[in-house]
Structure 1
Amino acid sequence: MAIADVYQQINKKISVNNPADADDQTRTNIVHEVLSWIGQPDRHLKIIHLVGTNGKGSMGVMLSDILKETRYSVGHFTSPVIRDDLEMISVNGHRINETEFITSYQRIIKEIERHGGDVNVLNKFEWWVLIALDYFGRKRVDYVVLEAGEHGLCDPTNAIDNPLIVAFSKIAPDFIARQETNLVKITETKLGAIKTGTTVVSYPGQDHAVNEFLKQRTREMGATWFENKPKITLLRTAPDGMYLNVNNLQGLKLALTGSYQIQNLSTVLQIIDVLKAKGAFIQDVDLIAALSRVKIEGRMEYDEQLNILFDGAHNQNGISNLVDSIKGWHLKAKPLMVLGFLKDNNWHEMLDELLPYTQAVITVTPEAPNAMSADELAAKIVMMSNVNVDVADDPSAAISLARQARASTDAMIVVTGSFFTLKAIYEGDTNG
């Protein structure tokens, strides 16, 4: 069986956004039952479950890199990814290969059929989570960093039984997942991650009402709330990273940009403290080395040679963080932006944030079924501001157009609006 055939079969499954006629708990129960049929790999793994709206990807990479540097074997499940879906599943930074992927897929199908189940009930994202957990179980990794999706109570990652740690990144409105803005209601959809006996960590900049809600659920479930925030002082920031004092560590470099990463780092360091308390051997020298080299494709990813920043910010909170970073760098010239949105983005609020801080915009059509066309986005920008707008008929031409437009300046190019925008650009020629 070829990987293309497996992809085709999985992609035919019911839509993630319309998971058949089943309620949230039923969907979780389905995944839980399949896990039991394949030997309940989650019960034999030390899982760090990352849940929230923004920051899971950054936290996941930082945490995985620190553990890998400490010579633990680490399985990492993340989404979305930009180039190849196989990148969603990795061990020690190496994505699952096609043979291993097919092995897990066929093994799961065999067990479902042996137990009289229906393979067509599972949706695409559920398949990926099951394959990841089966693969990590077969590899017997020391730790698993498991990032939740954006599917609320029916998120398949909630089917795991006994996570070692549940860590909440920033909880914020996300118009990709749902038209909901009430933070407490959004938090309600994420409470299924908290299990009896786990340790719960929360993002230090969390909304107060959200934190109180999480604490209440932690008490109700007989879990442990951990709160020992590190002292972090920002020394200086630039597009290629930040220099920080962290507790007794002076001048630590975090090779990620964006002031919001300080809060994500704080959450990761709390997780590290919990792991140490549970017996993990993690030295400062390894932590420093990992953070100085950490890189996240498509998340405030800076190409110093080309002076281009790629950021998959797809909601107002992500765009606000991007703008805050741009303001903090005190650039000599306003950036030139390559933008592409999805139709269900809260595009008006995102443009309100971005347009005052750009000298010109080139619009592209993201590589997604629900993409807003480059022409439509350009028309919206023209209606909202006096910023000069050009349309890239082909995403592969966008970077070339942007570089031509900034030819007489040293302006940074910022590519943002959606991970699907980055995917369209990456598949073009970024070397212009």
Structure 2
Amino acid sequence: MGTVETYRQLEASLGDDWQLSPSKHSRVGMLKEILNWIGHPERRLSVIHIVGSNGKGSTGVMLSKILTTAGYRVGHFSTPAILSDREVVTINGQMISEADVMFHYKRIMIEIKNHGGDEKTLTKFELWTLIALCHFAKQEVQFAIIEAGLGGTGDATNVVEKPLVVAITKISDDHSTMLGHDIIKIAENVAGAIKPGSLVVNYPGQDVAVFNILRDKAKTVGAVWNPYPKPQITLIRSSPKGLVVNADQLEGLKLSLTGAYQANNLSTVLQVVTILKNKRIALSDVTVAEALAHVKITGRMEYDSENNILYDGAHNPHGITSLVAAIRSWHLPFKPIVILGLIKGKNHMDMLDELLPYVSTVIAVTPDAKNAMSADELAANIVMMSNVDVEIADDSTAAISLARQVRESSKALIVVTGSFYTLRAIEREEKI
């Protein structure tokens, strides 16, 4: 890779692969050294570090919306991107500018080259993690919500040494080939994000063995397990437009994120809110309710009511299970038409087992990723497993056209899912 002078050159040189390569050795120490060279920007941030397998994006965006609505300046780092890499670094919902990306990139790269490295020293995820920390510190955000990419111990975001809160989402066997071959090993890896003095919040539906590992880790390192009661949440209504729940004193609370499983993510969020309130952070119930009624996440159970399309980046069996549970709870008049693209190595057979009984037609696409499963291979797997109608789309335009044809005589919901890279392949600017 030659000298990068413009943002467009940088984006092209980094490619589309946000995945981390398996490594026997953590690179967090190296990243901390780089942060030392540039003045430890991460130490000037009040960080809410979100780790886990599923629900990090939902948890992060709800917290960001609540704090922003309350008037705070909030940085949010969340991967992967869907349409533009700059989506992963936002302040109060606004993407980082191309100029700011290049400012931080050049500053980081000068120090790396001064110490014998080059443009290939960092992975894409590592680079954007450092850019986010530098940008948030320079812009003097009051809170920085940092979502881990993979696990905890060796994840680039684990450079944060003193997070204010560590929020742990649902831990599943996603990335088992990279983090360990059972959920216990994965939990031990995620637990590496728990730091001395931090307050730890845990997803309410965690596996018991996972829960014990996390709590033991907190006790061992001197972290504080959330001392406050978890909110009592009752689901009142679920539809593609969102949820209505009772959450302690917040009765009839509207959450504009859809999928009943979001009630558990909401519990995690409200636990963090309680902790912040007890740290004298001003967060009124009215503010919380207002924020949750208007929160949106690109590509995560994102419903386009005008066109009756659901975009969801479910990328592992747990994510697909949650998607299917939502679809079943809505009692739709027709089985959905699914535009599906999968990534290799993601337990795709389990995902298909879960999904296929509840759809009428699958339009197979090839996700926009280096390790994508081809549409032909996906279609062949589906044909072997079920009697579901399968079509193969050569590109996003073809997928959209096929979806139009299939649902022409019905009002069936169209679901685009399987990976965030699938959402990228289906160009979001186009409307069905």
Question: Take 1:299 and 1:15, find their aligned partners in 2: how far apart are those partners?
Answer: 18
Matched position secondary structure for 1:189: helix
| 1:130 aligned partner | 130
* Deviation of the 1:82 alpha carbon: 0.6
Residues 58-102 of structure 1 deviation map (CA, whole Å, 9 limit, x = unaligned): 000000000000000000000112111111001010000011111
Matched position secondary structure for 1:250: strand
| 1:74 aligned partner | 74
Matched residue type, 2:10: V
Structure 1, unmatched stretches of 5+, are none
Matched position secondary structure for 1:370: coil
More off after superposition, 169-178 vs 198-207: 169-178
Question: Take 1:99 and 1:122, find their aligned partners in 2: how far apart are those partners?
Answer: 20
* Deviation of the 1:178 alpha carbon: 3.1
| 1:288 aligned partner | 289
Question: Take 1:291 and 1:133, find their aligned partners in 2: how far apart are those partners?
Answer: 26
Match of 2:20 among 16, 19, 27: 16
Change over 3 Å in CA distance of 1:314–1:177 after alignment to 2: farther
Kept in 2, the 8 Å contact 1:51–1:190? The answer is yes
Kept in 2, the 8 Å contact 1:50–1:169? The answer is yes
Question: Take 2:379 and 2:273, find their aligned partners in 1: how far apart are those partners?
Answer: 45
Matched position secondary structure for 2:153: helix
Change over 3 Å in CA distance of 1:177–1:253 after alignment to 2: farther
Question: Take 1:250 and 1:111, find their aligned partners in 2: how far apart are those partners?
Answer: 53
Q: How does 1:326-341 map to 2 (within 5 A)?
A: 326-341=327-342
Change over 3 Å in CA distance of 1:165–1:281 after alignment to 2: same
Question: Take 1:119 and 1:155, find their aligned partners in 2: how far apart are those partners?
Answer: 20
| 1:220 aligned partner | 220
Residues 374-393 of structure 1 deviation map (CA, whole Å, 9 limit, x = unaligned): 11111111111111111112
* Deviation of the 1:175 alpha carbon: 4.0
Matched position secondary structure for 2:353: helix
| 1:261 aligned partner | 262
| 1:310 aligned partner | 311
Change over 3 Å in CA distance of 1:13–1:366 after alignment to 2: closer
Residues 221-251 of structure 1 deviation map (CA, whole Å, 9 limit, x = unaligned): 1110005210111111100001111111111
* Deviation of the 1:337 alpha carbon: 1.0
Matched residue type, 1:275: L
Residues 20-64 of structure 1 deviation map (CA, whole Å, 9 limit, x = unaligned): xx712xx11101111111111111110000000000000000000
Kept in 1, the 8 Å contact 2:191–2:213? The answer is no
Question: Take 1:417 and 1:8, find their aligned partners in 2: how far apart are those partners?
Answer: 24
More off after superposition, 130-139 vs 373-382: 373-382
Match of 1:7 among 6, 11, 20: 11
Kept in 2, the 8 Å contact 1:49–1:163? The answer is yes
Question: Take 1:300 and 1:280, find their aligned partners in 2: how far apart are those partners?
Answer: 30
Is residue 2:225 matched to residue 1:207?
Answer: no
Residues 254-292 of structure 1 deviation map (CA, whole Å, 9 limit, x = unaligned): 001001100000000001111111121111111111100
* Deviation of the 1:151 alpha carbon: 5.2
Matched residue type, 2:90: S
Number of residue pairs aligned between Structure 1 and Structure 2: 427
Kept in 2, the 8 Å contact 1:112–1:118? The answer is yes
Q: How does 1:108-187 map to 2 (within 5 A)?
A: 108-114=108-114, 120-150=120-150, 152-175=152-175, 178=178, 180-187=180-187
Question: Take 1:407 and 1:421, find their aligned partners in 2: how far apart are those partners?
Answer: 23
* Deviation of the 1:10 alpha carbon: 4.6
* Deviation of the 1:120 alpha carbon: 3.8
| 1:101 aligned partner | 101
Matched position secondary structure for 1:290: helix
Matched position secondary structure for 1:426: coil
Kept in 1, the 8 Å contact 2:179–2:189? The answer is no
Matched residue type, 2:332: L
Task: State TM-score, norm by structure 1.
Answer: 0.95
Change over 3 Å in CA distance of 1:18–1:250 after alignment to 2: closer
Kept in 1, the 8 Å contact 2:238–2:329? The answer is yes
Task: State TM-score, norm by structure 2.
Answer: 0.95
Question: Take 2:16 and 2:119, find their aligned partners in 1: how far apart are those partners?
Answer: 11
Residues 310-348 of structure 1 deviation map (CA, whole Å, 9 limit, x = unaligned): 111010000000010011111111111111111222111
Kept in 2, the 8 Å contact 1:170–1:206? The answer is yes
Kept in 2, the 8 Å contact 1:396–1:424? The answer is no
| 2:373 aligned partner | 372
Kept in 2, the 8 Å contact 1:14–1:122? The answer is no
Residues 288-309 of structure 1 deviation map (CA, whole Å, 9 limit, x = unaligned): 1110000101100111111111
| 1:238 aligned partner | 239
Is residue 2:44 matched to residue 1:44?
Answer: yes
Kept in 2, the 8 Å contact 1:13–1:120? The answer is no
Q: CA RMSD in A?
A: 1.9
Kept in 1, the 8 Å contact 2:201–2:225? The answer is yes
Kept in 2, the 8 Å contact 1:47–1:144? The answer is yes
Question: Take 2:11 and 2:285, find their aligned partners in 1: how far apart are those partners?
Answer: 41
| Percent of pairs with identical residues | 50
